[in-house]
Chain A
């Protein structure tokens, strides 16, 4: 400061330069974008999707055990599960899932007319609801079409858990943040199939890349008839079900 409480031109420019310098030092240079640190994967070249042939599922729940082991899912919570639909002569539908111990289905009493298994997991919707409601931007969608949770940024408000029409999200008791199926993002970006797909002994679960017209899934979707769950929700799910009964919701 110089005379009469006024600053000189020199001081003014000094102040300006120091201020801008401080700002630049504080901000630093931007970090490299994802996918550049490991240069083995380009997320613009893939668009992952999933298909489930319900007529092949034998309800062995190998997928659930594989998912639990691969992703360290806490006991009592599931990123994928197998539902058993049992329909009796009076058209009464009862649904159960093997959720205890080692995920084993026991035969239940009752006169069943029709029964089948339906594996479920995150549909990785093209227009997801969960991402829209997240107040902090912790639920997001990658360019290769996978819905992920940023557990470092999630505040655990549980809004997405309520918003998901398929009930695939839960609040992890360990991290107290939202958790869900990631399509085994650590595996698919290394060229491996998701753990559940690899574990399925009857090839009822099919994983593929819609950007690749020669992959099994792309061909399957061209040739087979399929359905998605709750299409009326407008979420455009990317899990396609083959041989799905009308009772399944």
Chain B
């Protein structure tokens, strides 16, 4: 009996070690949770079999020893069972090794996919460096400062100049393109039925005809700086309220009619002439009379000023129409070369060169220094 117990213990140990080997192979074979139930069933089956075969096999081995020791006890021949279970264990181990070779490493760790692919998907270097990336070097450049205040403030640098990764790595070697054609502007500003109505868009041939451009190859950038395009806010031009009046309560005391709260629904109480009739009447006799008030007077949200020519009568605004350019036709507004030729002709003292257009040409516009009777 003692020997039988020892036999059983030895067999169990052998069986358990085979089970451990198979289990290790299964775990390292990379099976997922979904596959584990099937695997465990298989393991129990083969493991149990292995325990039996190991026990019986050892019994067989020991029986040989017994024969060798001179004892003559009849022993059953279990070798065929041993071979059968050994074959099953071998096939299983071979299958697991084959699976290991065929299935990629890390497959099934987080689901039915290769976990290492996630890291591979992260491995690319970003190519668009973003506004912050550009601002690292260009923050104090004039263009950037202007850009952030004007109509193109929401257009990222890389939309026009292309992705900046190479340029950021070696700014001297890799220059970014400066789009100079019409096509680049028309990508956004070509008139299309599908574009939202409030978005500024043109039929460029009509636009050229209107502003008196005869050379059809002229680029938009000859008049409109892309960093400071100086366009008029269409929402505001359509609005019939005074640009300075932001809230109903600025004028109305008492209950507000909600239907009229939106500027486009508001009764036309604010034609310019209602308050500024002197100026409007005066303006009708001046050379600019065909132009609408809102062409020059717009409300600039960023700097919170209104009722003045954009950018406080910056000469560049006047030059949008009056700049002397070879592409303009004869019907275009009279052009000048400013500052060079024009200032050379008219400036008598050095401080004259600092004057803006309206310092001399105010009579061409309308009478100035008119103050609204009731400050809104």
Q: Which residues of A contact B (CB under 8 A)?
A: 3-4, 6-9, 12-13, 16, 19-20, 23-24, 26-28, 30-31, 33-35, 37-38, 41, 43, 55-62, 65-66, 69-71, 84-86, 102, 104-107, 112, 115-117, 137-143, 148, 150, 152-153, 182, 184-187, 189-190, 192-193, 195, 198-199, 201-203
Contact A86:B194 (CB < 8 A) given known A31-B105, A104-B187, A199-B159: yes
Q: Mark B93-137, 1 if CB is under 8 A from A, else 0.
A: 100010010001111011111111111111111111010000000
CA distance A9 to B104 in the complex (A): 38
Query: Does any Cβ of A come within 8 Å of B318's Cβ?
Result: no
Query: Which B residues lie within 8 Å of A41 (CB)?
Result: 122
CA distance A196 to B57 in the complex (A): 69
Cβ A201 vs Cβ B155 within 8 A? yes
CB distance from A173 to the nearest CB of B (A): 19
Q: Mark B348-370, 1 if CB is under 8 A from A, else 0.
A: 00000000000000000000000
CA distance A186 to B117 in the complex (A): 12
Query: Which A residues lie within 8 Å of B118 (CB)?
Result: 34-35, 43, 142, 148
Closest to B191 in A: A107
Contact A12:B188 (CB < 8 A) given known A141-B111, A186-B123: no
With contacts defined as CB atoms under 8 Å apart, how many contacts are there between chain A and chain B in the complex? 189
Cβ A60 vs Cβ B188 within 8 A? yes
Q: How many residues of B contact A (CB 8 A)?
A: 65
Query: Which A residues lie within 8 Å of B106 (CB)?
Result: 30-31, 33-34
Query: Does any Cβ of A come within 8 Å of B44's Cβ?
Result: no
CB distance from B267 to the nearest CB of A (A): 27
Cβ B195 vs Cβ A9 within 8 A? no
Query: Which A residues lie within 8 Å of B186 (CB)?
Result: 104
Q: Which residues of B contact A (CB under 8 A)?
A: 10, 14, 17-18, 20-21, 24-25, 28-29, 57-58, 60-62, 64, 68, 93, 97, 100, 104-107, 109-128, 130, 152, 154-156, 158-159, 162-163, 183, 186-188, 190-196, 199
Cβ A9 vs Cβ B194 within 8 A? no
Q: Point out the residue from A104, A153, A186 that lies within 8 Å of B183, measured CB to CB.
A: A104
Q: Point out the residue from B110, B112, B163, B195 that lies within 8 Å of A69, measured CB to CB.
A: B163
- Cβ contacts A to B, 30 pairs, < 8 Å: A6-B60, A6-B61, A13-B14, A16-B17, A24-B24, A27-B25, A30-B28, A43-B118, A58-B199, A61-B187, A62-B159, A66-B163, A71-B124, A86-B193, A86-B194, A104-B187, A107-B191, A115-B193, A138-B113, A139-B113, A140-B112, A140-B113, A140-B114, A148-B118, A148-B121, A150-B120, A152-B120, A153-B113, A182-B121, A192-B126
18 A-B pairs besides A16-B17, A34-B106, A61-B187 with CB distance below 8 A are A3-B64, A19-B93, A27-B24, A27-B100, A34-B110, A34-B118, A60-B188, A69-B127, A85-B194, A115-B193, A140-B114, A143-B110, A148-B117, A190-B126, A198-B130, A199-B158, A201-B188, A202-B154
Cβ A195 vs Cβ B116 within 8 A? no
Query: Which B residues lie within 8 Å of A189 (CB)?
Result: 122
Query: Which A residues lie within 8 Å of B117 (CB)?
Result: 140, 148, 150, 152-153
Q: Point out the residue from B24, B119, B195 that lies within 8 Å of A23, measured CB to CB.
A: B24
CA distance A86 to B21 in the complex (A): 67
Q: Point out the residue from B93, B116, B190 that lies within 8 Å of A105, measured CB to CB.
A: B190
Contact A198:B17 (CB < 8 A) given known A27-B25, A115-B193: no
Cβ A185 vs Cβ B122 within 8 A? yes
CA distance A97 to B24 in the complex (A): 55
CB distance from B20 to the nearest CB of A (A): 7
Closest to A56 in B: B196
Query: Which A residues lie within 8 Å of B21 (CB)?
Result: 16, 19-20, 23
Contact A105:B28 (CB < 8 A) given known A6-B64, A186-B123, A201-B154: no
